[in-house]
Every structure is written in C-alpha cells, then in structure tokens.
Chains A and B, each alone.
Chain A
Amino acid sequence: MNRIRPRNSRVLAIAPSSKGFGFAVLDGQVLVDWGVRSVVKGDKNAQCVSKVEKLILRYMPHVMVLQHYGTRDTRRSGRIRDLGGQLIVLARDHKIKAASISRERIYRAFSVERRATKHTIAEILAKRFPEELTHRLPPKRRPWMSEDYRMAIFDATALALSYMYCQRTIKTSQVWSNENQPL
C-alpha cells in the first residue's frame, strides 16, 4: 500500500440529474467505476446524499468534483443547486476536497468549441474509454426527445477528466487518448 502516487489521484465526480445522479470514479487514469443512481419521489436530495456517501465510503476518493452552478447564467433547478451545496458539506464531513468545474473549463479540457454539444464530448469519452463507455453511449438526442439517463455518466466522467486536466495531472492528449494507461 506504499506505492507513491500523485496527490488527488482518485477522483469521484457527481453529475446530478432530475432522476438521480451519474457518477464516475477515476483512479489515476483508470476509470474504476461509473454508472447512474436513480432516486424515487420524495426527498430526492436526501436519497442522493445517502447514495453518494456510500460511494465515498467504498472508494475513499481524494477529491469530489461537481459542476459549478455559481454562474449567473446557470439553468440548473433550485433542487440541484441545493444538492450541490449538500454534497460539498458531505465532502467536508468526510474530509474530502470538493472542487467545482465550470462548463467553460470542460470545453477547454476537451479542446472543443463553446457550441459543442454534450453528445460531442460523450463521443470523445467513448473513444477515450472504449471498453468502459462505448456500449453506454446513448443515441444522439433529437429536439423532441428528453435527455437519456445515461448521459449523466458521460457528464460525470467529463467532470473527472477536466478536473485532472485543470490540476495538470494529465495533458490534453491524455484527455483524448488512452495511451499510457496503467491497465
């Protein structure tokens, strides 16, 4: 257990949605776990917090990454913004660093235009983690369709990778390609 590893190498990223949240756990450059957790009617935030706590206890991450909702033009609902605050408190309770990443930083990490869609980033991620994410890539959303629940997995993975890029743990080329992966 005494292998020397870079600081903040295990990242838990959470991407809340109306039906629950998507999560991704990156250990170094290895995607250790990913998925969605759904919640039922009632106190959705309390259910989400309890499920995130289980993930924290299982993976003991160094950092929890969330999307930054503080900007004035954010279009996230009040509940999701409240959940963000509750998750930051949860991270603090477990002595984990909490970080928030804005959409602009995600676009910068992936070197895509500001107009790029979530699907464009999801496709990049599916290429970056072909074994893990290709079979979870949802079809491209049409204007009359609501967002696929699986998109939350890609949102969370993008957050985790962008955080590592912002921390200079990985380079731009490593955001795009899975070369030099330990596994």
Chain B
Amino acid sequence: MDIIVCIKRVPEVAEIDLQVDQTGKGIQDEGLVFGVNDWDNYAVEEAVRIKEKHGGKVTAITVGPAESEDVVRRALALGADEAVMATDPKSEGSDGYAIAKILAAVIKDMTYDIILTGALADDDGYAQVGATLAELLDIPHATLVTAIEIEEKRVKVKRELEGGMEEALDVATPALFTIQSGINEPRYVSIMGIRKVAKKEVATLDLNAVGLSPDQVGAEGSLIFVEKIFPPPVGEGAELLEGSPDEVATKVTDIFQKGGVI
C-alpha cells in the first residue's frame, strides 16, 4: 500500500494577538511560530500506521516556502519514507485550487494507492485542497474521515456526519481521503528522531520541475481573491469581566446564580 500524504506548514495562532499586515490581506508573521497543520499530523500518523500494518511506502509532500522543509522532515522522523517539497516564489498567493494544481502536477507521475490530506488547515480553514486534488487526479474521495480499514484494492472508511452520525463507505483505490482530527493519537516526534533524518534527502521542486507555468499558479492561477482580513466588529451581548482571578470568579458565579445556572 503506497500512500501519499499532503501536509502544510501553518502558524500557531492559539492565544496570539494576531495583527493584520500592511496589505490588509494577510497577518503579520513576525514572531509567529510555525509547525505542521494539526489535521495533517493525524494524516501522517494514519499513513505511517497503515504502512506499519500493511507494508508499502509513505511519501510526504508539501507546497510552500523553503521553511516548509521543517514539516516534511518531521514527517520523515514520524515514519514517512520519502519527502517532496514544491517550493517556488511564483507560487505565493495561490488559493486552494492553485495549490491542488501544484500537488496534482507533483503526484501525477507517482504510483500510489491512497492519498491522505488533513480535512482542513489551521490557518485559512478552506478545506478545499483535498477534494480539489482528487478531482484533478480524477479519483474518488471522501472527506472528514475518522477511520480507515484497508482491504485488497478497496478501502473501507468512516466519515463524520452532522448530528452525531457516521457514514461507512467502501471506496475503490486509488482514492483520496481528507482526515479528521481524532482518527488516531499521533505519536511524539523527538528531537533525536528529527536529528536522525537531518541528512535524508528532501526532493525540492520548483515550478519548472513540477511542469507548471507561472500563470497557472499564484494570484493569476487562482479563482479566489482575498479582499481583506479584519477582526470582526465587536458584537453585543458579550461582557468582558475585569479584575483579579478571584474577583472575576466571583463575578462569574454571581452571573451564573442570577441566571439560574447554579
């Protein structure tokens, strides 16, 4: 079972006071810490678990700036066998469709049984790349996958539905699955583990090597344009409590008591 897993380098934004950058269409990334997209981490873990059980090869692919090498190296340390990084300044500003075009161009000559991606990305959260990539490769796909069972030439997967329901599917390979978080418990990747793969080759491809022209990627090759990024206007009904932790706790319990919660 040969598996391709597509991963993305994203900023860690929890508890950070994000600032909109000068263009008004992005965020200031100064001082931000980057790492692998959380959903993609589950996808890499799932790919490695399938390989450990059924044999085969796992290839991790990322599209992004040169710094993205960190996330593919981490995937190698987690258990991926090969890594590919498609990086080219001309690809900057690509939307999900353009990113999927780059991934499809990288993947089209590779042999694989299944492709895994994260269900969506921590940063822009479009959830587009997986499904679009499957369409471009003309293979079936299932989104929000919470379990994968491999059978010969077929894969049985479960999908998360609304209302607490699940859906079981039987899918012919090759196929693409976008992985929901919680499908597994990703293992820890140690610093020693990352050091051990420091010399492993990461195939680095520019646009030319991928076989795409500049007009197929970046803003020109995209269908969606960001007009602006902004913090939503402060709405009504929210109250910010101020004071020491004790004072705030007292205010909260007062509100709960008045509202009949406790």
Do A and B originate from a single complex?
no
